[in-house]
Chains A and B, each alone.
Chain A
Amino acid sequence: MLKKTVLNSAHRAQGARMVDFGGWDMPVNYGSQIEEHHAVRNDCGMFDVSHMCPVDLVGADCRPFLSRLVANDVAKLTVSGKALYAAMLNDAGGVIDDLIIYFLSDTRFRLVVNAGTAEKDLAWMQARATEWQMAVTITQRRDGENNLGIIAVQGPNARAKVWQVLPQAKAAIADLKPFFAAEIDQYFIASTGYTGEDGYEIMLPAGEAEALWNALHAAGVAPCGLGARDTLRLEAGMNLYGQDMDETVSPLDAGLSWTVALKDGRDFVGKAALTANGQMAQFLGLILLDKGVLRGHQQVITKQGNGEITSGSFSPTLQQSIALARLPLGVAIGDEVEVDIRGKRLKAKVTKPVFARNGQAVQ
């Protein structure tokens, strides 16, 4: 039995093609994934991401708990509402999950973790809190009572559309800098996203989500499925948990070094392993020069040895196939490499791991 978000019937009413997405019955598109992709790059689209799991932390030890729990340093969070992207590691330095941490006060933080990892994340967090004897209460907000829906509204016109539909929130959110959140009554509105475009992610009581979804739709916001969400995040060079990294992969080998605060004296789970192993591979982009489509798990042949594509697809913005890949140390941006696609070796160019943001190609 697939799990359903509170917007399931709204998706069906709008003609969504539904698929089993890690045990959730989710819209992959509402007709054309490519049109939905362009809507977000050029105008405004919305995604139901209520399968992701908000987790509220409350208690005196929130900050010391998070300081040990994740590889990024919550000491960077000094202004209420500020958000931080971080990886939660195991003792071997592998990534248990990537998450966003919102700082609300020293006794109250909100995290958002991935859908498919929520149960193991909650178990891990609870076990660490007990082991470290930290005064922190961990409450998931996805299922059951007091659950939240999440709607991501993304694109150059996303802010204006949200102000139009939620005029009571405009004053609090109009000037939010990127990666901040504001709380307006029961609404939690953050200037975060997974597309490389401006916009908001709106968490709200689940019972109110369908009314907001329909109001945004009436205001001209295009419903977009998880298919477009994947090509948008791929173009933006954002990692997908389970594809680009998992429990066997170090964040240093997944392009996440910028989220790992290794240099200060702070200890965190996985730090010893990261320090001992160092960086073992590079996380870079590929653009296919021949005709075809790059896909996850295809082998990349370079002068320095073989690497592997972790995520690949067709880029609607570049009109070429692009990929994120884990490649041997020594491979340089601009190098020409080969990719094995069904036994044929096709040429690809190594690039920075970002292809399009803010409506523009960046390659």
Chain B
Amino acid sequence: MSNVPSNLKYAASHEWVLKNEDGSVTVGISDHAQEALGDLVFVELPEVGAHYAAEKEIAVVESVKAAADVYAPIAGTVTEVNQAAIDAPESVNADAYAAWLFKMTPDNLADVDALLDAAAYQAVADAA
């Protein structure tokens, strides 16, 4: 059973989104996603300052088994990437919610509210 914290929002493509107090959001991949991928060995993150439309490929995570695209859960501009996740991809397996991937300034903060809540994402993960 994967862990789906209720304080986060989720995209159906298996990213989690945390709203920060400064109006930015933090993004990572869900526990379900890391479990499905298996041991991660490589993380490629976007460049700070780059703008992405919602659902656009923004990062890549690779396990021993496969490469998977990470999609921008909402439209926005990248403000920070997590070098620790690049240096130690296995940290995403250890705790997918602590090992965030990047932060964005959303074009429209309200887009976050339109994402899935924990119960809705759990249903997506269960069906996968």
Nearest neighbor of A319 in chain B, beta-carbon distance: B41
Query: Does A28 have its Cβ within 8 Å of any Cβ on chain B?
Result: yes
Q: Bound complex: CA of A291 vs CA of B64, how far in Å?
A: 14
CB proximity of A203 to chain B, nearest CB, Å: 28
CB proximity of B89 to chain A, nearest CB, Å: 10
Q: Bound complex: CA of A313 vs CA of B42, how far in Å?
A: 11
Q: Bound complex: CA of A17 vs CA of B42, how far in Å?
A: 21
Residues 36-64 of B, flagged 1 when their CB comes within 8 A of A and 0 if not, give 00110110100000000000000010111
Query: Does B120 have its Cβ within 8 Å of any Cβ on chain A?
Result: no
The answer to whether B67 touches A295, judged by C-beta atoms less than 8 angstroms apart, is yes
Query: Size class of A's contact patch?
Result: 10 to 19
Query: Does A207 have its Cβ within 8 Å of any Cβ on chain B?
Result: no
**Do A34 and B39 contact each other (CB < 8 Å), given the known contacts A293-B67, A295-B67?**
yes
Q: Bound complex: CA of A321 vs CA of B42, how far in Å?
A: 10
Q: Which residues from 1 to 48 on chain A have a C-beta closer than 8 Å to any C-beta of chain B?
A: 17, 28-29, 32-34, 37
Query: Considering only CB atoms and an 8 Å cut-off, how many residues of chain B contact the other chain?
Result: 13
User: Is chain A's binding surface mostly helix, strand, loop or mixed?
Assistant: mixed
| A residues at B contact (CB < 8 Å) | 17, 28-29, 32-34, 37, 227, 231, 291-293, 295, 313-314, 316, 321, 342
Closest 7 CB pairs of A and B: A314-B41, A293-B62, A34-B39, A293-B42, A314-B64, A33-B38, A33-B64
Given contacts A28-B38, A29-B38, A321-B41, 8 further A-B contacts (CB under 8 A): A33-B39, A33-B64, A34-B39, A227-B65, A293-B41, A313-B65, A314-B42, A314-B62
- Show 16 residue pairs from A and B whose CB-CB distance is below 8 angstroms, ordered by the A residue: A17-B35, A17-B38, A28-B38, A32-B38, A33-B39, A227-B64, A227-B65, A292-B44, A293-B41, A293-B42, A293-B62, A314-B42, A314-B62, A314-B64, A321-B41, A321-B42
